Structures are given as structure tokens and as C-alpha cells.
Structure 1
Amino acid sequence: MSILGCGWLGLPLGRSLARKGYLVKGTTTSRPKLASLVARDIQPFLLHLDPEPNGEGLADFLSADVLVLNVPPKVEARGADFHPRQIRFLMDSLLGSAIRRVIYISATSVYPDLNREVTEEEALPQPGSNRVLLQAEALLRSLSPRVETTVLRCGGLMGYDRIPGKYFAGRKALPTGAVPVNLVHRDDVVGAVEAVIEREKWGETYNLVAPLHPTRQEVYLRNAADLGFEPPEFTPTGNQPFKIVAVRKLQQELAYVFRYPDPLNFSFTNEDPFY
């Protein structure tokens, strides 16, 4: 099991897989962080995609059955062409490796705001990171049948030290309080990745968000009340564009039961069991 990108999501994923008995390899772009991977039973590799693979031991890292690809596109910093180029260079390496299965961490930003529920079939190219993610998904799917890719389109990743309301503490006149959220707790992303692997659901695309969709105002005010920071204030506005990302396919095909189905009840703590 290899994880390209052992950061806020990839590191706890690797630790969880190692605890389940998998041999886990993981990458970091920072030499000082190599020790943190070793401490979590992850075989460490110093690698980055710039956009070509650069670092130490790429062939050894790709000597595995499954690759979890957890690399954000960084469109604002590197431009819209950078992430697809990363994927193309990586594809060349994959075709000469033992990897047969890929899990690509994508995002629900691929869906436009249609003011209704959206399913896996409704992604539409938009400017920015949306288009980049769809390009990356398509490139990886083109490796089939040699390499089968399952895409997880994640909502806003929260939990532990990532608290949605904290980023708006004390703000005034926020206009989008009535918009429903599409959030997911990190523990459920880890759980869903493990479910894909264990149930061998390859060549699929799944949305990954908490099944319930309270409004931003409800979430931010709950966070402020529970965690003791200044609540934001909202200004009533007309209809704001929104989407509600459907997660039924993942629940049904993976038989996945969310640990945190309601963003109003997400767990937030700095005492991270994986760190």
C-alpha cells in the first residue's frame, strides 16, 4: 500500500492502514518529516511531483498493489496546467510499476451550483481547480484496464484542528448563511478509503460528504457555542447558489456507515490519535 502525500489526511490514513496490518509506504516533500512517518509504521520516501517525479526511491515506492494519490492541484500557486502534468508524468511511472489500483482524492468542487442535489454523473468543467481535477480524473481513468482508478470526490475536509466556524469567527455581515454545507470528517475519509480497498471497488467514482447538510449559519454558530470563539454575524440575502452533494452511491455500494453523519456533531480536538 503506497500513499503519495502523507500530510493532514495521508499520514493518519497510513497509520490506520498500518494498524490493520498493511505494509504502508508513504511520501513527504520534507526531509525533517521522514521521522514522523517512521514513528507511525510508514516506510518513508522523500518524493515530490515537480511536475515530474523527483526524489529518492520512486521504483521502490511504486512496488505495491494500491496507490492512494493525495496531491492537491495548487492551481493558484502553480497554474492550471501543473497538476495534469504531474499526473501525466506519474502515469508513465505507473505503467512500468507493480501498481494495479489507484485511489485518487478529488473534490466536490467539480460540481457547479445547480441549486439542487447533484450526483456522480453531473460534474461539469468550470474554470480553475474544478477543470483541473476533472482532467486528472480522466487521465487516470485512461490507464484502464492496466490500472483501475477509483475517484473519491470529497467535500470540505474537517475534524480535529480544522473547524469550519473558526475561520469566520467574529466576522460581520456574512451573506451565505442559508447555504447548505457539503463537509466530511477526516475519520470518514480514512474509513471510506479503507472500505474501497477492503471491498475492492475499483473503476468507480464516489462522492464523499456527510449525509446531512445543515446550513453554514447553523454549523458556524454551533462551532462558536461549543468551542468558545466569537460567533460570526450573518446578513439575510436573496437566494444564494448552492448544491447538495448526494452520497447514496457510496453508502449503498460500500455499505459504509458514517461515523460523523451530521456536521453539527463533528468532533474537534487537538488530541489527534494519529499524531
Structure 2
Amino acid sequence: MVDRVAILGCGYIGIELGRQLTAAGYDVVGVRRSESGCAAIEDAGFEAHQADLTDPEAVSNLPDAEWVVFAASSGGRDAEAAQRIYVEALDSVIESYGERESPPDRLVYTSSTGVYGDHDGEFVDESTPLDPTTEKTRVLVEAERIARERSAEYGIDGTVARFSGLYGPNRYRLERYLEGPVTEGYLNMVHREDAAGAVGYLLIADRARDGVVLVTDDEPADKWTFADWLANECGVGNPPKETKQQRLTDDELSEAARRRILTSKRCSNGYLRELGYDLRYPTFREGYRAAVDAYRSENIE
């Protein structure tokens, strides 16, 4: 067993990953910039270290670890913020760890399926060419390259875990789908426990060294079908629907929002399954059960 795991940017996914690894007997330290973030880590039951990953001095003092998970958030949608965290800070972290007397064995970088761009509703997987459509997703593509190539320069195996849409506690967003209008398209989702669980599995089972793994559930969901299922389970009427063209008539939509609406793909988890990971929530039906039960308890029963 490794001596220590460092989770950098230990937020929504990182805290869940830390819980799971701690429960499995690993020594985990989570890194956050704020005092409140560190307090949340400690409340989750493992060690916290306060540091700003954009500060070179703070990066040089990050805890030693044999496994490093870079799960930081840019804190916004703009490309400039993404560049600072996903490219510049990631590169600084890899260089700092790589130049230590005992560099990490592995680094896992958590990316996004936004790197794929539009595929007209067709399936994508790890072999699909990347086609980012915004400045931010172009930054994410560069970050994936850094995670693997720069890590390799220091003898660190860099793995990219490419997450689809994250959901779970505090991120179910029931009102969006129950109230509508719901725009047509596909939802590619993964529950927080499985996003964290997949990263933990790749590390513990020693899978996908220097590779890319698409982390998503078994069933890309048609948005209208999902919204109607959710309404039925919650005991309310089906929400109003709209086509993409109807949605695009909104003059207040930003160009980035328009691109997101027009971007359509279905993500395959075939490789993740092939590697041996067993999903706790294979589809939204299992993943949304807790949210549905809570809604019914508060509003109907």
C-alpha cells in the first residue's frame, strides 16, 4: 500500500474520493485554498492542507505523496480562469513533484467530456478525436496533454479521468427538469460516488497508467425522456419541452451557451467497464432515487 495520497483541489469529487480512500485504509491529505474548504475536508474525516495552487511557493510546499490527484476547479466558466488552474497550476504541480527526491508514482487529472465537441448525437469514446468548440474546452485539451506528457518527463504515470456531467448530493437540480422548459438533447451523467470511485479504482487496481478513461454511466439519457421519468417518479406533471431551435431564439444567450446547446454526443463507458470498474449507480434511475424520495417526502407524502 502507498504511504500517502494527495488530492489537490479537494472539492466536490475530491472529498468523496478522500472518504473512499480513507475507508479503504489509505493515508489521504486533501488540499484546498480556503479555511472553510479545509474545514470541510477535516469534517469528511481526513487531513487537510491549505494552499493556493496558483502560488509557486505554496506548490513547492505541498505534501509528498506517491499518488497525486489533480481535481481542482477553475471556479468559473471563462477560459482565462481555466488556463490559470488547468494549465499553469497543473504544470507547476507536476514540475514541483517531479523534481523531488521521491516523485509520485502516479498522477490522475480529472478532465471533462467537453473536449469532444459536437458529434451529432453519435457515441464517443477514448478513441474519438477531440474537437473542442470553446476557448475553455481548448484549454482542457491542453491540460490533458500536460497531465500525460509532462508527467512522463519526470517518470510519473499520468492518467486522465474524463468525467461526464457530475450529479449527486447538492447537485441534483430537480427544479430545472421538473419546471422546464427542457431543451432536447442528450444527458451524459455520472454520480459523484462513481466519479470518485472510478478514480480510486484506477489507482488501487493499477489500471490505465499513462492512459485516458471516460468516466460516465451506462446510459446516455434523452433529456425529454429523463425529465418525464423524473416528473412521474416525483408525482408531478411532465414539464414543458422545447427544441434546440426554439431555445436558440433567446437573444440573451451567450455564444458559449449557444455552442453548448448545439453540441450533442453520447458517451460510452465501455473501456471503464472493460477495466473492471463496477458502477454503484449504473443509470440515472438508481442515481436519482435518493433525490426523488426526498422530494416526495417534502412535497407529496
TM range (shorter): 0.7 to 0.9
Alpha carbons of structure 1 residues 221 and 90: separation in structure 2 relative to 1, 3 Å: same
Aligned partner of 1:246 in structure 2 is 268
Pick from 107, 113, 116 the counterpart of residue 111 of structure 1.
116
Partner deviation per Cα, 1:136-170 (whole Å, 9 max, x = no partner): 11112122151111111110001222114433442
Paired amino acid for 1:190: A
Cα distance in 2, alignment partners of residues 169 and 53 from structure 1: 45
Deviates more, 1:129-138 or 1:72-81: 72-81
Cα distance in 2, alignment partners of residues 163 and 265 from structure 1: 13
Aligned partner of 1:81 in structure 2 is 83
Paired amino acid for 2:97: L
Unaligned runs of 5+ in 2: 246-261, 295-301
Cα distance in 2, alignment partners of residues 183 and 261 from structure 1: 10
* Alignment check: 8 A CA contact 1:75 1:128 kept: no
1:66 aligns with 2:70: no
Paired amino acid for 2:78: E
SS in 2 for 1:121: coil
Paired amino acid for 1:113: D
Cα distance in 1, alignment partners of residues 234 and 69 from structure 2: 33
Unaligned runs of 5+ in 1: none
Cα distance in 1, alignment partners of residues 236 and 60 from structure 2: 45
SS in 2 for 1:242: coil
Cα distance in 1, alignment partners of residues 111 and 52 from structure 2: 18
Aligned partner of 2:258 in structure 1 is none
Q: TM-score, normalized by length of structure 1?
A: 0.85
CA shift at 1:31, angstroms? 1.1
Pick from 174, 182, 185 the counterpart of residue 191 of structure 2.
185
Alpha carbons of structure 1 residues 126 and 41: separation in structure 2 relative to 1, 3 Å: same
Aligned partner of 2:96 in structure 1 is 93
More helix by percentage? 2
Aligned partner of 2:156 in structure 1 is 147
Aligned partner of 1:195 in structure 2 is 201
Aligned partner of 2:220 in structure 1 is 213
Alignment of 1:122-141 (within 5 A): 122=128, 123-141=130-148
Paired amino acid for 2:23: R
CA shift at 1:231, angstroms? 5.0
Partner deviation per Cα, 1:223-250 (whole Å, 9 max, x = no partner): 3343467753103567x65211111111
1:13 aligns with 2:17: yes
Cα distance in 2, alignment partners of residues 241 and 39 from structure 1: 39
1:29 aligns with 2:33: yes
1:102 aligns with 2:107: yes
Cα distance in 2, alignment partners of residues 72 and 265 from structure 1: 27
Paired amino acid for 1:41: G
CA shift at 1:251, angstroms? 0.7
Deviates more, 1:214-223 or 1:182-191: 214-223
SS in 2 for 1:150: strand
SS in 2 for 1:124: coil
Aligned partner of 2:298 in structure 1 is none
Cα distance in 1, alignment partners of residues 57 and 236 from structure 2: 43
Alpha carbons of structure 1 residues 157 and 53: separation in structure 2 relative to 1, 3 Å: farther
1:263 aligns with 2:284: yes
Partner deviation per Cα, 1:113-154 (whole Å, 9 max, x = no partner): 212111112222432221111101111212215111111111
CA shift at 1:76, angstroms? 1.4
Structure 1 outlier segments of 4+, above 6 Å: none
Q: TM-score, normalized by length of structure 2?
A: 0.79
Alpha carbons of structure 1 residues 163 and 221: separation in structure 2 relative to 1, 3 Å: farther
1:223 aligns with 2:230: yes
